[in-house]
Amino acid sequence: MEQNTPRPEASLAALLARYPKLEPCAGEIENAASLLAGVFAAGNKLLLCGNGGSAADCDHITGELMKGFLLERPLPDDLRAAMRRRCPALTAQDLDSLQRGLPAVSLCGMTALSTAFSNDAAPEYVFAQGVLALGGPGDALLCISTSGNSENVVQAAKTARDSASPSSR
């Protein structure tokens, strides 16, 4: 674990101290954090989908994961050196401005896909199509639905589950 990375137990304790109503969900939160840590540690990505305000949440979460969020994630020296070899015009300031991020893709922000697929195929499968096109073995899907009944989100979850089986690839 990186030196400036907080221990997961400390992060969960801080979350529960700030939001005590989440205490009954502590086990599920810990499991989700562990699952996502495993996804990222294995070099895989997180896909996200939701509608309306949930779509905005997906975009926000994606943005936070793809940059430092609460941690500074400077480029490691070997990557900086490789980038300078490939592009000598890069300055130290250029490289200092970049951060390592976690691979996350919001399926909500794909306007061309969502409008074309909704027009040409079936709107309830627009996120499922994104899962099929961008998802792979070991990736995770975060679905956000305030009602739990958003058909396009439900279909994405079903597709992620079904496409993750070895016989479907």
Domains of the chain, residue spans: 1-41, 43-66+102-169, 74-101
Torsion angles phi and psi, residue 5, rounded to 5? -85, 125
SS3 41: helix
Specify the DSSP element, H or E, that contains 119.
helix 111-120
- pLDDT surpasses 50 at 2: no
- Give the pairing type, strands 140-144 and 104-106: unpaired
Q: Are strands 46-50 and 140-144 parallel, antiparallel or unpaired?
A: parallel
Q: Is residue 4 over pLDDT 70?
A: no
Lowest mean pLDDT among 2-11, 92-101, 137-146: 2-11
Per-residue pLDDT at 104: 97
pTM for the full model?
Answer: 0.86
CB 144 within 8 A of CB 58: yes
Report pLDDT digits (tens) over 42-69: 999 999 999 999 999 999 999 999 998 7
| Phi, psi for 130 (deg, rounded to 5) | -65, -40
CATH class of the structural domain 43-66+102-169: alpha beta
Q: How far is CA 65 from CA 17, 34, 74, 135, in A?
A: 23, 15, 14, 17
Q: How high is the pLDDT of residue 144?
A: 97
